[in-house]
Every structure is written in C-alpha cells, then in structure tokens.
Structure 1
Amino acid sequence: MQIMKLALAAGLAAMTAAPALAADYKEEYKISTVVPAPFPWGIAAETWAEMVGERTDGRIKMKVYPGAQLVSGDQTKEFTAMRRGIIDMAVGSTINWSPQVKELNLFSLPFLMPDYAAIDALTQGPVGDKLFEILSDKGVVPLAWAENGFREVSNSQKPIHTPEDLAGLKMRVVGSPLFNDTFTALGANPTQMSWADAKPALTTGAVDGQENPVSVFAVAKIYEVGQNNLTLWHYVADPLIFAVNQDVWDSFTPEDQEIVRQAAIDAGAKGIEIAREGMTGNDKSAIEAIEAKGVDVVELTEEERQAFIDATRGVYDEWKEKIDPELVDMAEESIANR
C-alpha cells in the first residue's frame, strides 16, 4: 500500500510539473497569411510555426494556411476573423487590416517613408508601440513586426517617370480606399481586386499594371504577364504583424506565451532580412535579376519623386485627418529623427 501511495504521489508530482493547461491546448493552431513561402511573408510565417514547435517540444503545433483560405480568399476579413476566434493567429498586412483598424493606414500614406530606416523608425519606435496598444484594445495580441516591403509600380505600357505617365492606366490596387484615392490623384484608373484575382487580370490585359514589393514581383514572376516596366518609387510600405487571438493567447501558460512571442520576434527579423535582400546598400542583385528578365527598371531621381509627392499631397493631408493627426505627427517626427 505504501508503495502504491508513493507511486501515486510521484505521478501527481509529474503532472504538476507539466506545463499548466497544456492538456487543453488545441491539436493545431491555424495561422492565416496571404502568400506562402518562398515569398518573404510566407517564410516568416513558416519560420514562426517551426520555431514555436521546436521551442515548446511540440506542445504548440502551428500550421500556416496561405492564400487567405481561412477567410475564403478575402484578405480584408482576416483581422475580424482572428478577433472573433474564427482563426487563431495571423501574419497579416497592415494594408489588409486597415479597414478595421484605421490607424494602420499610416503606412499607406503616399510617400511618408523614403527609405528602410524610416520604416524601422516607425515599427521599432513609439509609433509601433502605439499601434500595438490599439490592436490590443481590439481583441488581438500583437507580438512582432515583419515586412512585405516597399510597394513599387509596374505596367505593360510604358516606363513611368512622372505622374503624367500614369494618366489613364488601369491599375490593380488592394482593397483600400486610400490606394484608390492615391492612384486617382495621379490620373490612373484604379481597380480594386484581391491578390488571387490580380495575376489573371494582368494576364488577360483587364488591367495595365499593379503595385507590389519587388520580392512579390520576382517570386510571382509578374514579368511573365506583360509587366515589362517597373518603377522604384517607394510610395508606400507594407509592414506585417504577427498576432494571436486574445482567447488563444490567454489559454497559453506564461512560459509558452514568452516562447511564442520571442519566436515571432525572431521570425519577423528573418522575414525582414529576406524581404530586403538584394535591395539595399551596394547589393542590388534583386533588381539586377529582374532586369535580366527583360524588365525596364526605372529608379526615380529626387526631382521626379518630388513630382509624385506634390501630386498626392492632397490625399496625404485628407487621410492624415482620417487616420489620427497626432499619430501622423509622431510618425513624421520619428522619421525626421531617424
């Protein structure tokens, strides 16, 4: 009897030592993304899932579901679905979440951020902290930043050096009113459509052009559907956010919460590094690889870029009021002091 009591006590001790509530964890946690690996976005999400699995010894199993398939392909519904618990986690675009979180339109203000240091000044400074507070108040737990990159413009008709070159072009844009306003101000005819519909539309000529990061242009081989003109204008950037549904987060032990958070930070850093590869400093290999495919790549001069800034200033000022003037002022100050 004494032996049985000792065995029972040992078993209870072992159970107590096991991570609390681990038995209540789901068999799988679903991560929503828009694009898979080998896009930097997809790599960041996959890395997060792999790191968490390794660092929790399999207690937390996460799987990436690309193509916004958890929200029937409508990427603008991703944030709401995560907040409601329909999906567990996401590595989401600030653009796609902006319909529900107006402050995230900050990153889509035309020509706010001139370089990568400006992006970092926002995401890694007081602006990033403020945005995470806003997201936390909306029922999700933001953990870390990653990056889709600066969105550049391409088309099948002609090189773009001036706003006048965009006049009349049918341009695919994401589902954000701010993008629609920006391209309208530049004289183009913007057409909002999901990423799933974009490449077929380019293939058939239903639209003349599109705007996306260079990494997306290259990995998706957009140059194969007539997009033989690419202009690097850095007009907006597309930071990504790692986030978890609040109830899912609360179900994790504090120790596992820290593991999930740190894994997101590490995966985000890797994603940013990959998104910028061949695009910074003396390394222009990503651009050179696109030029080797027969694409005419235009890099705007300061004077040329200023013409676009001037043409969209009215949109900038209008949306600054809609987003939050104090937040935009904070962003402008962070960039000026970068």
Structure 2
Amino acid sequence: MGASRRSLLLGAAGAGLALPFAARAQSYRPEYKLSVVGNRPIPFADGAFRWAELVTERSGGRINVKVYPGSQLVGGDQTRELVAMRQGVIDFAVFSTINIAPQVREVGLFQLPFLMPSHRAFDALIRGDVGRDIFGVMERRDVVPLAWGENGFREISNSKRAIRTPDDLRGLKIRFAAGAIFTDIYNALGANPVQMSFADLQPALSTGAVDGQENPINLFLAFRMDTLAQKHLTVWNYVNDPLIFALSKSVWNSFTPADQQLVRECAEQAGRDEIALTRRGLGGEGTDDSAMVELRNRGVEVTVLSAAEKRAFAEKTKPVYDKWAATVGPDLVRKAETAIRAVAS
C-alpha cells in the first residue's frame, strides 16, 4: 500500500473515531433553563443562582445555565414546575416540596403539622433514609434530584392581632401557596384559608384581600411584609419546606459522566450554602439573632411560642396529621418519626 493511501485511510479512521466525541460535545445546548420561585435576595432563589453560576463557571461555559426567577417559565404558577420539567419546558429547577406535593405525595411528609420541632429534626430527615427514599421517588418521575436545600420554618403573620392560641386564628383569612393539607390545617384552627401564588400575595396583603400569610422569616424580611400591614408574627415552626435541586432525566443523560459529577457537586455546594443562608439570624443552634432583632426594629410584634403553646396547636391539627399521614404513606411517616425521636433523645 502506498504511503499516500495509507495516510488517507488513517486520517479517515481518526476522523471516524473523533466523530462520536464531537457529536457529543455539539449536543450540549447553548442554554439550560433553571426555574425557581421568587428572586434574589431570598435564600431560596439565591441557591438557584448559586447553582447556575457554579455549573457555568466550573464547566468553562460548556454547560451554560440561566436562571428564570419568579417561576416565569410557567406563568408564575410555581405548582406547575415539575410538570413543565417533565414536558421539557424546564431543564433545571430548585423545587419547593410544598409546590410539588400535589404531584409527589411522599414529599407531603414535610407538611405534616408540627412533625419537625427543630433544625436537628429537619436535618435528620433530609440527611438520612427518609431523604434517600424521597429522592428515589423523584427519580421514578423522570427527574434527577441531586441535593437538598431549605426554605425554612414557616411562621405566620397577620394584620389583626397576635396569635398565641388556636382561638386567635379564628376567622382570619390566611394565604397559603399550595396543597390541600393547608386547607385542612387552617380549617381545623378556625381560619379561612386562601390558596394563592406568591406573585399575587403582595397585592393581596396590601389591599386586605387576605389578613395574613405563612412564610419563612427571611422571606418576610426580604419582601418587607411589615409594610403590607403584617404587624404581628408568630414563631410556631409548624412546618418546614425542604428544597430539591434537580434536573430532568433527559438532560442528565445527555451529559458525560464527568459533567454529571460536576453538576452534582455544584448542586451539593449550592444546597449547603443555601441552608446556611436560610438559617442566618434566627437565633439558637449556633446562629445570631439578627433577623429577630430586625423584625422588632421594623415594629413587628413577634410572639415566640413555648413548647406547651405549640402543643395546643398540634392537638387541634392532630386529625389533619393522621389523615395526611395515610396519604403520604404510613411506613415513610413512621420512619420519619423514628428518626426525629432519635435526635431528640
């Protein structure tokens, strides 16, 4: 065989070997869309931006992730994000477990009233068997969960009066984000629950269409709800809302194993940073109390319930807990209760 022909054949073979790698590199999209509720500066949204920035930076721009805050890819309706991901509208997301609970019944565990008394209890769930079980459920829905975050314990505020007993809630119109369990909780406490997107909440508070709302303190402060007639806030820690950093299975499968590991590590770091930001300033468990001080400096009357006062609310909502535990799954609920007892002892 002549040298020139041998060179041509080798060149063709080399090109053929290179084609799968070139094709794989070219299959990456110019942009990947990440959906999240709200916007900076709230920790929830900050975690999403942090994840996108880490992935884009560490991949050298090969995986270019752009954040679409305010759930704008689903018209502001955060309850549609999971469906939109499965339809290919959303590539990455930081989901609130409250918003996806209507589609994934197991994450409703975290909305069982007064299940988690502390951050230690919360951590025992997301970092243990319960968290792994729930990630397994998500994976069966064409979603790849990579890391946990935390939206925070949801406290209740209103424009009418301090809330210290269940009777204080009677007749108040309280906004909640999503999930029929919240209708049951507030009906059990004698309030009038109103489901409403976050985008509609601020105008509803300013006009008095609703009397109050329940959200983490960091969000209350960031959106200056004290200027929307929310002058009374009760710290009752009735539920906490974990976040799930996830992406669609089809997008995940399009990445090389090395890039999958990169995306996972970035999600885990963003999740750790987001949890620390969520807990900043709340006092106790190793943090300062700057957020509580800020509330009072803004003229908000802050009522912190004792353990005995919380029990009164827990007793009123026990039928709701039992009803929804059956929906979530008795085995998963028992596993969660056991994990919480272990860290409480």
TM-score (norm 2): 0.94
Q: Give the corresponding residue for 2:273.
A: 270
In the TM superposition, what is the alpha-carbon distance from 1:45 to its structure 2 partner?
Answer: 0.5
AA partner of residue 147 (structure 1) = E
Alignment of 1:303-314 (within 5 A): 303-314=308-319
Summarize the Cα distance change of 1:5–1:149 in structure 2 as closer, same or farther, 3 Å threshold. same
Alignment of 1:4-153 (within 5 A): 12=15, 15=18, 21-153=24-156
Which of these residues, 205, 211, 214, is aligned with residue 211 of structure 1?
Answer: 214
AA partner of residue 308 (structure 1) = F
Offset from partner CA, 1:109-150 (integer Å, 9 cap, x none)? 000000111111111100000000000001110110011100
AA partner of residue 308 (structure 2) = E
Q: Give the corresponding residue for 1:316.
A: 321
Summarize the Cα distance change of 1:10–1:43 in structure 2 as closer, same or farther, 3 Å threshold. farther
Residue pair 2:174, 2:193 contacting (<8 A) in 1 also: yes
Summarize the Cα distance change of 1:38–1:5 in structure 2 as closer, same or farther, 3 Å threshold. farther
Offset from partner CA, 1:21-44 (integer Å, 9 cap, x none)? 121011100001011111101110
Structure 1 CA distance, aligned partners of 2:174 and 2:235? Answer: 16
Structure 1 CA distance, aligned partners of 2:30 and 2:175? Answer: 39
Which of these residues, 160, 183, 187, is aligned with residue 184 of structure 1?
Answer: 187
Summarize the Cα distance change of 1:277–1:18 in structure 2 as closer, same or farther, 3 Å threshold. farther
- Aligned-partner SS, 1:147: strand
In the TM superposition, what is the alpha-carbon distance from 1:73 to its structure 2 partner?
Answer: 1.2
Q: Give the corresponding residue for 2:331.
A: 326
Structure 2 CA distance, aligned partners of 1:141 and 1:158? Answer: 44
AA partner of residue 62 (structure 2) = R
- Aligned-partner SS, 2:237: strand
- Aligned-partner SS, 1:235: coil
In the TM superposition, what is the alpha-carbon distance from 1:280 to its structure 2 partner?
Answer: 3.5
* Unaligned runs of at least 5 residues, structure 2: none
Structure 2 CA distance, aligned partners of 1:301 and 1:37? Answer: 32
Offset from partner CA, 1:244-297 (integer Å, 9 cap, x none)? 111111100111001001100000000000000011425111111111000000
Residue pair 2:44, 2:274 contacting (<8 A) in 1 also: yes
Alignment of 1:251-270 (within 5 A): 251-270=254-273
Residue pair 2:283, 2:292 contacting (<8 A) in 1 also: no
Summarize the Cα distance change of 1:52–1:146 in structure 2 as closer, same or farther, 3 Å threshold. same
TM-score (norm 1): 0.95
Structure 2 CA distance, aligned partners of 1:61 and 1:113? Answer: 37
Structure 2 CA distance, aligned partners of 1:209 and 1:245? Answer: 35
Summarize the Cα distance change of 1:6–1:111 in structure 2 as closer, same or farther, 3 Å threshold. same
Q: Which stretch shows the higher mean deviation, 9-18 or 166-175?
A: 9-18
Residue pair 1:111, 1:235 contacting (<8 A) in 2 also: yes
Residue pair 1:19, 1:253 contacting (<8 A) in 2 also: no
Offset from partner CA, 1:184-206 (integer Å, 9 cap, x none)? 10000001110011110000001
Larger gyration radius, structure 1 or structure 2:
2
* Unaligned runs of at least 5 residues, structure 1: none
AA partner of residue 72 (structure 1) = G
Structure 2 CA distance, aligned partners of 1:113 and 1:89? Answer: 28
Summarize the Cα distance change of 1:17–1:100 in structure 2 as closer, same or farther, 3 Å threshold. closer
Aligned residue pair count? 338
AA partner of residue 100 (structure 1) = Q
AA partner of residue 303 (structure 1) = A
Structure 1: 4+ residue segments shifted above 6 A: 4-7, 16-20
Q: Give the corresponding residue for 1:236.
A: 239
In the TM superposition, what is the alpha-carbon distance from 1:87 to its structure 2 partner?
Answer: 1.0
In the TM superposition, what is the alpha-carbon distance from 1:302 to its structure 2 partner?
Answer: 1.3
AA partner of residue 297 (structure 1) = V
Which of these residues, 277, 287, 307, is aligned with residue 292 of structure 2?
Answer: 287
- Aligned-partner SS, 1:21: helix
Structure 2 CA distance, aligned partners of 1:237 and 1:162? Answer: 20
Residue pair 2:283, 2:290 contacting (<8 A) in 1 also: no
- Aligned-partner SS, 1:90: strand
Structure 2 CA distance, aligned partners of 1:265 and 1:12? Answer: 38
Q: Which stretch shows the higher mean deviation, 66-75 or 206-215?
A: 66-75
